[in-house]
Amino acid sequence: MAWASACKAIERRGKVTATTTTTSLTVRCEIDDNLYPKGVSVSDAEMAAINIQRHDFHGDWNYTIAPNSS
């Protein structure tokens, strides 16, 4: 995807900024320098508790995660 390439190009230049594609899609890029542990397991119960709405188009890739209502 063009926006992903734009983010990588911005990151290579050492800048955190925003860009707009030729189709007016605005993309905001941000570098996350945090360290995350490898091998963290998520149980089936934890996965089932996620409030996820899969989009009609490629729902495995395109989805929205919303807060769970209390």
What would the pLDDT profile of 32-70 be if each residue is shown by its tens digit? 889 999 999 999 999 999 999 999 999 888 899 999 886
Q: How many domains does the chain have?
A: 1
Distance CA 26, CA 20 (A): 4
Which pairs with CB-CB distance under 8 Å and at least 24 residues apart come from 13-21? none
User: Is position 6 within any domain?
Assistant: yes
**51 falls within a domain:** yes
- Residue 36 in any domain: the answer is no
Are the C-beta atoms of residues 11 and 29 closer than 8 Å to each other? yes
Does 4 or 36 have the greater pLDDT score?
36
CB–CB of 19/38 below 8 Å? no
Q: What is the pLDDT of residue 5?
A: 60
6-31 pLDDT, tens digit per residue, is 566 655 555 545 566 777 777 676 77
Domain assignment of residue 10, given as a range: 2-31+42-66
pLDDT of the residue at 65: 92
Question: Per the domain annotation, does 50 fall within a domain?
Answer: yes
Q: Is residue 10 part of a domain?
A: yes
**Integer Cα distance of 2 and 6 in angstroms:** 6
